[in-house]
A and B are shown apart, each in its own frame.
Chain A
Amino acid sequence: MNQIVKRNESADTGGGAMDGHIEKLTETARLLRQDIVRMIHLAGDGHPGPSLSVADIVVALYFEVMHIDPSNPRWPERDRFILSKGHACPALYAALARLGYFSLDELPGLRSLESMLQGHPDMNKTPGIDSTSGSLGNGISVGLGMALAGRLKGQDYYTYVVTGDGELEEGVVWEAMMAAKHYNVGRLVVFIDNNEMQSGGPVDKVSGLYPILPKVEAFGWHCQEINGHDFVEILGALERAKAETEHPSVILAHTVKGQGVPFMIGDNSWHKRVPTEEELKEAMIALGGD
Protein backbone atom coordinates (compact mmCIF):
# COMPACT_ATOMS: atom_id res chain seq x y z
CA MET A 1 0.00 0.00 0.00
CA ASN A 2 2.30 2.74 1.16
CA GLN A 3 5.61 3.11 -0.54
CA ILE A 4 8.73 4.32 1.13
CA VAL A 5 9.48 7.79 -0.13
CA LYS A 6 13.12 8.59 -0.45
CA ARG A 7 14.42 11.87 0.85
CA ASN A 8 14.63 14.62 -1.79
CA GLU A 9 12.71 12.57 -4.32
CA SER A 10 9.84 15.04 -4.03
CA ALA A 11 11.99 18.07 -4.77
CA ASP A 12 12.45 16.86 -8.32
CA THR A 13 8.74 16.83 -8.99
CA GLY A 14 8.20 20.45 -8.00
CA GLY A 15 9.07 22.61 -10.94
CA GLY A 16 9.12 26.35 -11.45
CA ALA A 17 9.14 28.88 -8.65
CA MET A 18 8.27 26.25 -6.00
CA ASP A 19 11.64 24.52 -6.37
CA GLY A 20 13.39 26.79 -3.89
CA HIS A 21 10.61 26.39 -1.37
CA ILE A 22 10.53 22.63 -1.71
CA GLU A 23 14.27 22.37 -1.24
CA LYS A 24 14.11 24.54 1.83
CA LEU A 25 11.25 22.53 3.32
CA THR A 26 13.03 19.28 2.55
CA GLU A 27 16.13 20.55 4.29
CA THR A 28 14.09 21.73 7.28
CA ALA A 29 12.40 18.32 7.51
CA ARG A 30 15.80 16.64 7.45
CA LEU A 31 16.97 18.76 10.37
CA LEU A 32 13.69 18.20 12.18
CA ARG A 33 14.10 14.43 11.87
CA GLN A 34 17.59 14.73 13.35
CA ASP A 35 16.14 16.77 16.22
CA ILE A 36 13.48 14.14 16.81
CA VAL A 37 15.83 11.17 17.01
CA ARG A 38 18.45 13.03 19.05
CA MET A 39 15.85 14.46 21.43
CA ILE A 40 14.36 11.04 22.17
CA HIS A 41 17.82 9.53 22.62
CA LEU A 42 18.89 12.24 25.05
CA ALA A 43 15.56 12.30 26.88
CA GLY A 44 15.55 8.52 27.18
CA ASP A 45 11.86 8.32 26.28
CA GLY A 46 9.44 9.10 23.47
CA HIS A 47 7.83 7.98 20.22
CA PRO A 48 10.23 8.21 17.27
CA GLY A 49 8.22 6.26 14.65
CA PRO A 50 5.05 8.39 14.72
CA SER A 51 7.06 11.62 15.02
CA LEU A 52 9.00 10.79 11.86
CA SER A 53 5.86 9.91 9.90
CA VAL A 54 4.25 13.26 10.65
CA ALA A 55 7.36 15.44 10.26
CA ASP A 56 6.83 16.57 6.66
CA ILE A 57 3.22 17.61 7.30
CA VAL A 58 4.32 19.61 10.36
CA VAL A 59 7.09 21.27 8.36
CA ALA A 60 4.81 22.16 5.45
CA LEU A 61 2.29 23.74 7.80
CA TYR A 62 4.64 25.59 10.13
CA PHE A 63 7.34 26.64 7.66
CA GLU A 64 5.20 27.45 4.65
CA VAL A 65 1.46 27.66 5.13
CA MET A 66 0.37 28.77 8.57
CA HIS A 67 0.01 32.41 9.56
CA ILE A 68 1.82 32.55 12.86
CA ASP A 69 4.00 34.87 14.86
CA PRO A 70 6.56 33.05 17.00
CA SER A 71 7.18 36.25 18.96
CA ASN A 72 3.47 36.38 19.83
CA PRO A 73 2.32 32.78 20.30
CA ARG A 74 -1.19 33.77 21.43
CA TRP A 75 -1.81 36.22 18.55
CA PRO A 76 -5.62 35.98 18.26
CA GLU A 77 -5.67 35.99 14.45
CA ARG A 78 -3.11 33.19 14.07
CA ASP A 79 -3.82 29.92 12.34
CA ARG A 80 -4.29 27.11 14.86
CA PHE A 81 -2.66 23.71 14.94
CA ILE A 82 -3.68 20.66 16.94
CA LEU A 83 -1.55 17.55 17.03
CA SER A 84 -4.30 15.11 17.89
CA LYS A 85 -1.74 12.31 17.83
CA GLY A 86 0.00 14.09 20.67
CA HIS A 87 2.58 11.34 21.20
CA ALA A 88 4.27 12.60 18.02
CA CYS A 89 5.04 15.87 19.79
CA PRO A 90 8.83 15.63 19.33
CA ALA A 91 8.15 16.66 15.71
CA LEU A 92 6.08 19.62 16.85
CA TYR A 93 8.51 20.65 19.59
CA ALA A 94 11.39 20.61 17.11
CA ALA A 95 9.41 22.75 14.66
CA LEU A 96 8.47 25.27 17.35
CA ALA A 97 12.06 25.46 18.58
CA ARG A 98 13.41 25.97 15.08
CA LEU A 99 10.87 28.75 14.56
CA GLY A 100 12.03 30.47 17.73
CA TYR A 101 9.07 29.85 20.05
CA PHE A 102 11.70 28.61 22.49
CA SER A 103 15.34 27.60 22.43
CA LEU A 104 16.58 24.44 20.74
CA ASP A 105 18.34 23.79 24.06
CA GLU A 106 14.94 22.85 25.52
CA LEU A 107 14.59 19.79 23.29
CA PRO A 108 16.72 17.31 25.29
CA GLY A 109 14.61 18.13 28.37
CA LEU A 110 11.65 16.35 26.78
CA ARG A 111 9.60 14.48 29.40
CA SER A 112 11.78 15.54 32.34
CA LEU A 113 10.43 17.18 35.48
CA GLU A 114 11.67 20.74 35.04
CA SER A 115 11.14 20.87 31.28
CA MET A 116 8.53 22.91 29.43
CA LEU A 117 8.19 19.93 27.09
CA GLN A 118 5.65 17.49 28.49
CA GLY A 119 5.31 13.91 27.32
CA HIS A 120 2.26 15.07 25.39
CA PRO A 121 1.48 18.66 24.33
CA ASP A 122 0.41 21.09 27.05
CA MET A 123 -0.92 24.46 25.87
CA ASN A 124 -0.01 26.21 29.09
CA LYS A 125 3.53 24.97 29.54
CA THR A 126 4.92 25.22 26.02
CA PRO A 127 4.82 28.42 23.95
CA GLY A 128 3.24 27.81 20.55
CA ILE A 129 1.05 24.85 21.54
CA ASP A 130 -2.54 25.80 20.68
CA SER A 131 -4.22 22.83 22.32
CA THR A 132 -3.39 20.29 24.94
CA SER A 133 -3.57 16.89 23.29
CA GLY A 134 -2.47 13.30 23.51
CA SER A 135 -5.53 11.38 24.59
CA LEU A 136 -6.43 10.12 21.16
CA GLY A 137 -9.43 11.02 19.05
CA ASN A 138 -10.24 14.43 20.46
CA GLY A 139 -8.29 16.79 18.19
CA ILE A 140 -10.85 17.19 15.42
CA SER A 141 -13.48 18.05 17.99
CA VAL A 142 -11.32 20.71 19.66
CA GLY A 143 -10.45 22.02 16.19
CA LEU A 144 -14.13 22.24 15.34
CA GLY A 145 -14.65 24.41 18.41
CA MET A 146 -11.80 26.68 17.36
CA ALA A 147 -13.17 26.94 13.83
CA LEU A 148 -16.66 27.75 15.10
CA ALA A 149 -15.26 30.38 17.45
CA GLY A 150 -13.29 31.97 14.61
CA ARG A 151 -16.35 32.16 12.41
CA LEU A 152 -18.42 33.66 15.22
CA LYS A 153 -15.77 36.26 15.93
CA GLY A 154 -15.36 37.11 12.24
CA GLN A 155 -11.72 36.02 12.22
CA ASP A 156 -10.46 34.24 9.14
CA TYR A 157 -7.82 31.96 10.63
CA TYR A 158 -7.61 28.32 9.62
CA THR A 159 -7.55 25.45 12.09
CA TYR A 160 -5.32 22.53 11.14
CA VAL A 161 -5.53 19.18 12.87
CA VAL A 162 -3.26 16.19 12.43
CA THR A 163 -4.74 12.92 13.52
CA GLY A 164 -3.29 9.45 13.30
CA ASP A 165 -5.13 6.74 11.42
CA GLY A 166 -5.39 4.41 14.42
CA GLU A 167 -7.06 7.06 16.54
CA LEU A 168 -9.92 7.27 14.06
CA GLU A 169 -11.16 4.19 15.92
CA GLU A 170 -12.35 6.55 18.68
CA GLY A 171 -16.06 7.36 18.48
CA VAL A 172 -15.67 11.07 19.22
CA VAL A 173 -13.83 11.45 15.89
CA TRP A 174 -17.02 10.65 14.03
CA GLU A 175 -19.10 12.84 16.35
CA ALA A 176 -16.85 15.70 15.33
CA MET A 177 -16.94 14.75 11.64
CA MET A 178 -20.74 14.83 11.73
CA ALA A 179 -20.96 18.16 13.51
CA ALA A 180 -18.28 19.79 11.33
CA LYS A 181 -20.28 18.92 8.25
CA HIS A 182 -23.49 20.09 9.89
CA TYR A 183 -21.91 23.47 10.57
CA ASN A 184 -19.99 23.46 7.26
CA VAL A 185 -16.86 24.84 8.81
CA GLY A 186 -14.78 25.61 5.76
CA ARG A 187 -11.68 26.68 7.65
CA LEU A 188 -11.05 23.33 9.32
CA VAL A 189 -8.43 21.15 7.62
CA VAL A 190 -7.64 17.70 8.98
CA PHE A 191 -4.62 15.65 7.97
CA ILE A 192 -4.83 11.93 8.57
CA ASP A 193 -1.28 10.67 9.09
CA ASN A 194 -2.00 7.31 7.49
CA ASN A 195 1.11 5.36 8.49
CA GLU A 196 -0.98 2.19 8.78
CA MET A 197 0.39 1.27 12.19
CA GLN A 198 -0.83 1.80 15.71
CA SER A 199 0.56 0.81 19.08
CA GLY A 200 -0.66 -2.75 18.84
CA GLY A 201 0.35 -3.39 15.23
CA PRO A 202 -1.04 -2.81 11.73
CA VAL A 203 -4.27 -0.81 11.81
CA ASP A 204 -6.08 -3.31 9.59
CA LYS A 205 -5.14 -6.13 11.97
CA VAL A 206 -6.37 -4.24 15.03
CA SER A 207 -9.67 -2.89 13.71
CA GLY A 208 -12.07 -2.68 10.81
CA LEU A 209 -11.27 0.97 10.18
CA TYR A 210 -10.27 0.73 6.53
CA PRO A 211 -11.13 2.06 4.04
CA ILE A 212 -10.98 5.52 5.61
CA LEU A 213 -11.76 7.95 2.83
CA PRO A 214 -15.14 6.56 1.75
CA LYS A 215 -16.27 6.93 5.35
CA VAL A 216 -15.11 10.54 5.57
CA GLU A 217 -16.62 11.28 2.17
CA ALA A 218 -19.91 9.84 3.35
CA PHE A 219 -19.77 12.30 6.23
CA GLY A 220 -19.74 15.08 3.64
CA TRP A 221 -16.16 16.28 3.90
CA HIS A 222 -13.98 17.51 1.07
CA CYS A 223 -11.45 14.69 0.65
CA GLN A 224 -8.02 14.39 -0.89
CA GLU A 225 -5.43 11.62 -0.86
CA ILE A 226 -1.72 12.34 -1.10
CA ASN A 227 1.77 11.13 -0.37
CA GLY A 228 2.45 12.67 3.03
CA HIS A 229 6.19 12.83 2.42
CA ASP A 230 5.96 14.78 -0.84
CA PHE A 231 5.97 18.53 -0.25
CA VAL A 232 4.57 19.31 -3.68
CA GLU A 233 1.60 17.10 -2.91
CA ILE A 234 1.21 18.38 0.64
CA LEU A 235 1.27 22.02 -0.43
CA GLY A 236 -1.02 21.39 -3.40
CA ALA A 237 -3.54 19.64 -1.19
CA LEU A 238 -3.39 22.44 1.37
CA GLU A 239 -4.04 25.01 -1.33
CA ARG A 240 -7.10 23.12 -2.51
CA ALA A 241 -8.31 22.52 1.05
CA LYS A 242 -8.04 26.22 1.86
CA ALA A 243 -9.89 27.13 -1.32
CA GLU A 244 -12.75 24.86 -0.26
CA THR A 245 -14.50 27.23 2.12
CA GLU A 246 -17.92 25.56 2.13
CA HIS A 247 -16.91 22.24 3.64
CA PRO A 248 -14.41 20.92 6.15
CA SER A 249 -11.46 19.21 4.48
CA VAL A 250 -9.65 15.95 5.04
CA ILE A 251 -6.27 15.21 3.53
CA LEU A 252 -5.46 11.52 3.80
CA ALA A 253 -1.67 11.47 3.78
CA HIS A 254 0.01 8.15 3.11
CA THR A 255 3.05 8.12 5.33
CA VAL A 256 5.65 5.74 6.64
CA LYS A 257 6.26 5.21 10.34
CA GLY A 258 9.93 5.93 10.95
CA GLN A 259 10.33 7.75 7.60
CA GLY A 260 13.94 8.83 7.05
CA VAL A 261 15.49 6.27 9.38
CA PRO A 262 15.64 2.96 7.47
CA PHE A 263 16.07 0.66 10.46
CA MET A 264 12.91 2.04 12.07
CA ILE A 265 10.76 1.45 9.00
CA GLY A 266 8.67 -1.69 9.16
CA ASP A 267 9.59 -2.31 12.81
CA ASN A 268 6.72 -1.19 14.99
CA SER A 269 8.80 -1.46 18.14
CA TRP A 270 9.85 2.08 17.15
CA HIS A 271 6.35 3.27 17.95
CA LYS A 272 7.86 3.99 21.36
CA ARG A 273 11.50 3.12 21.80
CA VAL A 274 14.72 4.92 22.62
CA PRO A 275 17.60 4.74 20.15
CA THR A 276 20.91 3.63 21.67
CA GLU A 277 24.14 5.54 21.03
CA GLU A 278 24.85 3.21 18.10
CA GLU A 279 21.36 3.57 16.68
CA LEU A 280 21.53 7.32 17.04
CA LYS A 281 24.72 7.37 14.99
CA GLU A 282 23.17 5.18 12.33
CA ALA A 283 20.06 7.37 12.20
CA MET A 284 22.14 10.54 11.93
CA ILE A 285 24.07 9.11 9.01
CA ALA A 286 20.80 8.23 7.27
CA LEU A 287 19.56 11.76 7.94
CA GLY A 288 22.73 13.34 6.65
CA GLY A 289 23.75 14.64 10.06
CA ASP A 290 26.87 14.46 12.16
Chain B
Amino acid sequence: MKHENTRIAVTETLMELAAKDSNIALVCADSLLVLKAKPFVDEYPDRFFDVGIAEQNAVCCAAGMASCGLIPFVATYAGFITMRACEQVRTFVAYPGLNVKLIGANGGIGSGEREGVTHQFFEDLGILRTISGITIVVPADAGQVREAVKAVAYTKGPAYIRIGSGRDPVVFEEYVPFELGKARILRKAGRDVVIFANGFILPRVLQAAEELEQKGIKATVVEVHTLKPLDNERIANVLDECGAAVTVEDHNIIGGLGSAIAEVIAEEVPVPLVRVGLRDTFPRSGATEELLDHYHIGVKDIVGAACKAIEKKKSVY
Protein backbone atom coordinates (compact mmCIF):
# COMPACT_ATOMS: atom_id res chain seq x y z
CA MET B 1 0.00 0.00 0.00
CA LYS B 2 1.27 3.46 -0.92
CA HIS B 3 1.58 6.01 1.88
CA GLU B 4 1.73 9.79 1.98
CA ASN B 5 2.20 11.96 5.06
CA THR B 6 -0.94 13.94 5.93
CA ARG B 7 0.99 16.21 8.29
CA ILE B 8 3.37 17.30 5.54
CA ALA B 9 0.31 17.78 3.33
CA VAL B 10 -1.02 20.31 5.86
CA THR B 11 2.25 22.22 6.11
CA GLU B 12 2.81 22.36 2.35
CA THR B 13 -0.72 23.53 1.71
CA LEU B 14 -0.45 26.19 4.40
CA MET B 15 2.71 27.49 2.72
CA GLU B 16 0.89 27.62 -0.57
CA LEU B 17 -1.96 29.56 1.06
CA ALA B 18 0.38 31.80 3.06
CA ALA B 19 2.10 32.89 -0.15
CA LYS B 20 -1.21 34.27 -1.39
CA ASP B 21 -2.73 35.54 1.84
CA SER B 22 -0.75 37.43 4.47
CA ASN B 23 -3.39 36.62 7.11
CA ILE B 24 -2.64 32.89 7.18
CA ALA B 25 -0.80 32.00 10.39
CA LEU B 26 0.24 28.77 12.10
CA VAL B 27 -0.13 28.30 15.85
CA CYS B 28 1.58 25.33 17.47
CA ALA B 29 1.80 23.93 20.97
CA ASP B 30 5.33 22.55 20.73
CA SER B 31 3.98 20.69 17.73
CA LEU B 32 6.34 22.13 15.14
CA LEU B 33 8.08 18.81 14.58
CA VAL B 34 4.83 16.87 14.81
CA LEU B 35 3.56 18.91 11.88
CA LYS B 36 6.90 18.82 10.03
CA ALA B 37 6.35 22.58 9.88
CA LYS B 38 9.99 23.68 9.74
CA PRO B 39 9.68 24.82 6.10
CA PHE B 40 6.75 27.05 7.07
CA VAL B 41 8.79 28.59 9.90
CA ASP B 42 11.74 29.18 7.59
CA GLU B 43 9.58 30.85 4.96
CA TYR B 44 7.18 32.75 7.25
CA PRO B 45 8.88 33.13 10.65
CA ASP B 46 6.67 36.04 11.69
CA ARG B 47 3.50 34.05 11.00
CA PHE B 48 4.48 31.08 13.08
CA PHE B 49 3.59 31.10 16.78
CA ASP B 50 4.63 28.39 19.19
CA VAL B 51 3.05 28.93 22.59
CA GLY B 52 4.70 25.91 24.16
CA ILE B 53 2.97 22.80 25.47
CA ALA B 54 -0.15 24.80 26.23
CA GLU B 55 -3.10 23.92 24.04
CA GLN B 56 -5.66 26.02 25.89
CA ASN B 57 -3.45 29.04 25.33
CA ALA B 58 -2.94 28.08 21.68
CA VAL B 59 -6.68 28.01 21.03
CA CYS B 60 -7.44 31.25 22.91
CA CYS B 61 -4.50 33.03 21.25
CA ALA B 62 -5.81 31.91 17.87
CA ALA B 63 -9.25 33.25 18.82
CA GLY B 64 -7.70 36.63 19.63
CA MET B 65 -5.78 36.60 16.34
CA ALA B 66 -8.88 35.69 14.34
CA SER B 67 -10.83 38.51 15.97
CA CYS B 68 -8.18 40.84 14.53
CA GLY B 69 -8.42 39.45 11.00
CA LEU B 70 -5.83 36.68 10.89
CA ILE B 71 -6.68 33.15 9.75
CA PRO B 72 -4.84 31.05 12.32
CA PHE B 73 -4.43 27.29 11.93
CA VAL B 74 -3.91 25.62 15.31
CA ALA B 75 -2.16 22.34 14.68
CA THR B 76 -1.30 19.70 17.22
CA TYR B 77 -2.55 16.32 18.44
CA ALA B 78 -6.28 15.81 17.99
CA GLY B 79 -7.00 14.98 21.61
CA PHE B 80 -5.14 17.93 23.05
CA ILE B 81 -7.20 20.30 20.93
CA THR B 82 -10.55 18.62 21.41
CA MET B 83 -10.16 17.50 25.02
CA ARG B 84 -7.49 19.56 26.78
CA ALA B 85 -8.68 22.76 25.08
CA CYS B 86 -12.28 21.69 24.54
CA GLU B 87 -13.85 24.55 26.45
CA GLN B 88 -11.66 27.11 24.69
CA VAL B 89 -12.72 25.64 21.34
CA ARG B 90 -16.36 25.78 22.36
CA THR B 91 -16.53 29.18 24.06
CA PHE B 92 -13.86 31.25 22.35
CA VAL B 93 -13.87 29.82 18.82
CA ALA B 94 -17.20 28.16 18.07
CA TYR B 95 -19.51 30.44 20.07
CA PRO B 96 -18.21 33.70 18.55
CA GLY B 97 -17.84 31.91 15.19
CA LEU B 98 -14.23 33.01 14.81
CA ASN B 99 -12.17 32.11 11.79
CA VAL B 100 -9.93 29.60 13.56
CA LYS B 101 -8.93 26.35 11.86
CA LEU B 102 -8.03 23.35 13.99
CA ILE B 103 -5.83 20.53 12.73
CA GLY B 104 -5.88 17.36 14.82
CA ALA B 105 -3.13 14.79 14.34
CA ASN B 106 -3.25 11.12 15.34
CA GLY B 107 -6.94 10.84 14.61
CA GLY B 108 -8.07 7.30 15.38
CA ILE B 109 -6.43 4.29 17.02
CA GLY B 110 -4.68 3.45 13.76
CA SER B 111 -2.93 6.81 13.67
CA GLY B 112 -1.99 6.71 17.34
CA GLU B 113 -0.92 3.08 16.92
CA ARG B 114 2.16 2.25 19.00
CA GLU B 115 1.85 5.34 21.22
CA GLY B 116 -1.00 3.89 23.25
CA VAL B 117 -4.15 5.55 24.54
CA THR B 118 -2.60 8.90 25.52
CA HIS B 119 -1.82 9.58 21.86
CA GLN B 120 -4.62 7.66 20.15
CA PHE B 121 -7.62 9.91 19.70
CA PHE B 122 -10.97 8.31 19.07
CA GLU B 123 -13.30 10.77 20.81
CA ASP B 124 -12.42 13.97 18.89
CA LEU B 125 -15.25 13.79 16.37
CA GLY B 126 -17.94 12.95 18.89
CA ILE B 127 -16.88 15.79 21.15
CA LEU B 128 -16.76 18.37 18.37
CA ARG B 129 -20.02 17.20 16.82
CA THR B 130 -21.86 18.33 19.95
CA ILE B 131 -20.44 21.84 19.65
CA SER B 132 -22.45 24.14 17.44
CA GLY B 133 -20.87 25.87 14.49
CA ILE B 134 -17.75 23.85 13.72
CA THR B 135 -17.18 22.32 10.31
CA ILE B 136 -15.69 18.85 10.82
CA VAL B 137 -13.69 17.16 8.08
CA VAL B 138 -12.21 13.67 8.07
CA PRO B 139 -10.21 13.47 4.83
CA ALA B 140 -9.33 10.13 3.29
CA ASP B 141 -5.66 10.74 2.55
CA ALA B 142 -2.93 13.34 2.07
CA GLY B 143 -4.28 14.52 -1.28
CA GLN B 144 -7.68 15.09 0.25
CA VAL B 145 -6.09 16.82 3.26
CA ARG B 146 -4.58 19.34 0.85
CA GLU B 147 -7.97 20.01 -0.66
CA ALA B 148 -9.68 20.15 2.74
CA VAL B 149 -7.16 22.67 4.11
CA LYS B 150 -7.81 24.93 1.13
CA ALA B 151 -11.55 24.48 1.41
CA VAL B 152 -11.73 25.45 5.09
CA ALA B 153 -9.28 28.32 4.62
CA TYR B 154 -11.63 29.81 2.05
CA THR B 155 -14.77 29.14 4.10
CA LYS B 156 -15.24 31.62 6.91
CA GLY B 157 -15.74 30.19 10.38
CA PRO B 158 -14.42 27.53 12.72
CA ALA B 159 -13.29 24.21 11.23
CA TYR B 160 -11.56 21.03 12.32
CA ILE B 161 -9.59 18.71 10.06
CA ARG B 162 -8.57 15.30 11.33
CA ILE B 163 -5.18 14.09 10.11
CA GLY B 164 -3.00 11.10 10.84
CA SER B 165 0.36 9.93 12.05
CA GLY B 166 2.42 10.58 8.95
CA ARG B 167 2.19 6.97 7.77
CA ASP B 168 -1.12 7.45 6.09
CA PRO B 169 -2.41 5.25 3.26
CA VAL B 170 -3.11 6.75 -0.12
CA VAL B 171 -6.76 6.18 -1.01
CA PHE B 172 -6.99 8.17 -4.22
CA GLU B 173 -4.11 7.51 -6.64
CA GLU B 174 -5.12 10.44 -8.78
CA TYR B 175 -6.40 13.91 -8.04
CA VAL B 176 -10.05 13.97 -7.05
CA PRO B 177 -11.87 17.21 -6.34
CA PHE B 178 -13.10 17.88 -2.83
CA GLU B 179 -16.41 19.53 -2.09
CA LEU B 180 -16.93 20.57 1.52
CA GLY B 181 -20.21 19.29 2.93
CA LYS B 182 -20.88 16.74 0.16
CA ALA B 183 -20.90 13.02 0.72
CA ARG B 184 -19.21 11.18 -2.13
CA ILE B 185 -20.27 7.90 -3.70
CA LEU B 186 -17.01 5.98 -4.08
CA ARG B 187 -18.45 2.80 -5.41
CA LYS B 188 -21.89 2.14 -6.69
CA ALA B 189 -22.11 -1.60 -7.11
CA GLY B 190 -25.74 -2.07 -6.27
CA ARG B 191 -28.52 -1.75 -3.79
CA ASP B 192 -27.97 -4.56 -1.29
CA VAL B 193 -26.32 -2.43 1.33
CA VAL B 194 -24.62 0.96 1.70
CA ILE B 195 -21.39 1.32 3.63
CA PHE B 196 -20.65 4.80 4.99
CA ALA B 197 -17.06 5.51 5.99
CA ASN B 198 -14.44 8.22 6.20
CA GLY B 199 -10.74 8.71 6.84
CA PHE B 200 -7.79 6.35 6.56
CA ILE B 201 -10.00 3.34 7.09
CA LEU B 202 -11.36 3.62 3.54
CA PRO B 203 -8.94 1.12 1.91
CA ARG B 204 -10.35 -1.57 4.23
CA VAL B 205 -13.87 -0.60 3.28
CA LEU B 206 -13.14 -0.78 -0.43
CA GLN B 207 -11.49 -4.17 0.04
CA ALA B 208 -14.52 -5.37 1.99
CA ALA B 209 -16.79 -4.20 -0.84
CA GLU B 210 -14.70 -6.28 -3.27
CA GLU B 211 -15.05 -9.34 -1.06
CA LEU B 212 -18.78 -8.76 -0.77
CA GLU B 213 -18.97 -8.57 -4.55
CA GLN B 214 -17.30 -11.98 -4.74
CA LYS B 215 -20.04 -13.30 -2.48
CA GLY B 216 -22.58 -11.80 -4.86
CA ILE B 217 -23.47 -8.90 -2.56
CA LYS B 218 -23.67 -5.49 -4.17
CA ALA B 219 -22.44 -2.83 -1.77
CA THR B 220 -22.46 0.90 -2.40
CA VAL B 221 -19.68 2.80 -0.60
CA VAL B 222 -20.21 6.41 0.42
CA GLU B 223 -17.41 8.57 1.77
CA VAL B 224 -18.71 11.05 4.36
CA HIS B 225 -15.61 13.24 4.60
CA THR B 226 -17.56 16.17 6.01
CA LEU B 227 -19.08 14.95 9.24
CA LYS B 228 -20.59 18.34 9.91
CA PRO B 229 -22.52 19.83 8.27
CA LEU B 230 -23.74 16.39 7.25
CA ASP B 231 -24.97 15.84 3.71
CA ASN B 232 -28.36 14.64 4.94
CA GLU B 233 -29.99 14.69 1.55
CA ARG B 234 -27.55 12.41 -0.23
CA ILE B 235 -27.25 10.13 2.78
CA ALA B 236 -31.03 9.80 3.04
CA ASN B 237 -31.30 9.08 -0.69
CA VAL B 238 -28.71 6.29 -0.57
CA LEU B 239 -30.30 4.84 2.56
CA ASP B 240 -33.61 4.81 0.79
CA GLU B 241 -32.13 3.09 -2.27
CA CYS B 242 -30.21 0.40 -0.36
CA GLY B 243 -32.44 -0.26 2.61
CA ALA B 244 -29.59 -1.43 4.86
CA ALA B 245 -26.53 0.38 6.15
CA VAL B 246 -23.10 -0.14 7.70
CA THR B 247 -20.87 2.55 9.14
CA VAL B 248 -17.11 2.14 9.45
CA GLU B 249 -14.92 4.53 11.38
CA ASP B 250 -11.68 4.67 13.32
CA HIS B 251 -13.38 6.32 16.30
CA ASN B 252 -15.38 5.28 19.30
CA ILE B 253 -18.61 3.81 18.06
CA ILE B 254 -20.37 6.43 20.17
CA GLY B 255 -20.54 9.97 18.81
CA GLY B 256 -18.88 9.80 15.40
CA LEU B 257 -19.97 8.77 11.93
CA GLY B 258 -22.03 5.81 13.17
CA SER B 259 -24.02 8.06 15.44
CA ALA B 260 -24.45 10.71 12.77
CA ILE B 261 -25.83 8.17 10.29
CA ALA B 262 -27.99 6.60 13.01
CA GLU B 263 -29.58 10.00 13.56
CA VAL B 264 -30.49 10.31 9.88
CA ILE B 265 -31.82 6.76 9.89
CA ALA B 266 -33.90 7.27 13.02
CA GLU B 267 -35.44 10.53 11.86
CA GLU B 268 -35.63 10.18 8.08
CA VAL B 269 -35.11 6.72 6.61
CA PRO B 270 -35.59 3.88 9.11
CA VAL B 271 -33.46 1.00 7.82
CA PRO B 272 -31.27 -1.57 9.63
CA LEU B 273 -27.82 -0.30 10.64
CA VAL B 274 -24.69 -2.10 11.84
CA ARG B 275 -21.84 0.04 13.13
CA VAL B 276 -18.17 -0.88 12.87
CA GLY B 277 -15.71 1.05 15.02
CA LEU B 278 -13.96 1.00 18.36
CA ARG B 279 -16.52 -0.62 20.63
CA ASP B 280 -16.40 1.84 23.54
CA THR B 281 -13.17 0.56 25.02
CA PHE B 282 -9.60 1.79 25.53
CA PRO B 283 -7.28 0.16 23.00
CA ARG B 284 -3.66 -0.94 23.42
CA SER B 285 -0.40 -0.01 21.70
CA GLY B 286 0.35 -1.88 18.51
CA ALA B 287 0.95 -1.71 14.79
CA THR B 288 -1.85 0.02 12.88
CA GLU B 289 -3.11 -2.91 10.83
CA GLU B 290 -2.91 -5.34 13.75
CA LEU B 291 -4.67 -2.89 16.02
CA LEU B 292 -7.55 -2.27 13.65
CA ASP B 293 -8.03 -6.03 13.18
CA HIS B 294 -7.78 -6.67 16.91
CA TYR B 295 -10.44 -4.08 17.72
CA HIS B 296 -12.88 -5.43 15.14
CA ILE B 297 -12.37 -2.78 12.46
CA GLY B 298 -11.02 -5.38 10.04
CA VAL B 299 -12.10 -6.25 6.52
CA LYS B 300 -13.85 -9.38 7.80
CA ASP B 301 -15.69 -7.31 10.39
CA ILE B 302 -16.95 -4.97 7.69
CA VAL B 303 -18.00 -7.90 5.50
CA GLY B 304 -19.74 -9.48 8.48
CA ALA B 305 -21.49 -6.22 9.33
CA ALA B 306 -22.77 -5.88 5.77
CA CYS B 307 -24.16 -9.43 5.80
CA LYS B 308 -25.79 -8.79 9.17
CA ALA B 309 -27.39 -5.56 7.94
CA ILE B 310 -28.78 -7.36 4.88
CA GLU B 311 -30.13 -10.17 7.09
CA LYS B 312 -31.90 -7.61 9.23
CA LYS B 313 -33.36 -5.98 6.14
CA LYS B 314 -34.77 -9.33 5.02
CA SER B 315 -36.29 -10.00 8.41
CA VAL B 316 -37.90 -6.54 8.37
CA TYR B 317 -39.58 -6.97 4.99
Contacts and interface: CB of A to CB of B under 8 A. Distances in A.
Interface residues of B, number: 28
Contacts of A153: 68-70
A17 B2 CA distance: 76
Interface stretch (B49-57, B168-176, B229-237, B245-253): B49-57
A212 interface: no
A153 to B, nearest CB: 7
B54 A152 contact: no
A150 B68 contact: yes
Interface in B19-67: 25, 46-47, 49, 51-52, 54, 56-57, 60-67
B65 A146 contact: yes
Contacts of A148: 49, 61, 64-65
Most-contacted residue by chain A among B25, B47, B52, B61 (CB, 10 A):
B61
Interface stretch (A7-15, A31-39, A175-183, A253-261): A175-183
A142 interface: yes
A138 B70 contact: no
Interface string A138-156: 1001111111111011000
Given A172-B56, A179-B52, A179-B61, A130 B67 contact: yes
A60 to B, nearest CB: 23
Given A152-B25, A172-B57, A178-B52, A142 B64 contact: yes
Contacts of B52: 175, 178-179, 182
B51 A132 contact: no
B11 interface: no
Interface string B50-94: 011010110011111111111010000000000000011001100
B61 A141 contact: yes
A53 interface: no
A142 B63 contact: yes
B92 A132 contact: yes
Contacts of B61: 141-142, 144-145, 148, 176, 179
A131 interface: yes
A142 B70 contact: no
B96 to A, nearest CB: 5
Interface of B: 25, 46-47, 49, 51-52, 54, 56-57, 60-70, 72, 87-88, 91-92, 95-97
Interface of A: 76, 80, 122-124, 130-132, 134-135, 138, 141-150, 152-153, 159, 171-172, 175-176, 178-179, 182-183
9 contacts: A131-B92, A141-B64, A146-B68, A149-B68, A149-B69, A152-B47, A153-B68, A159-B64, A179-B52
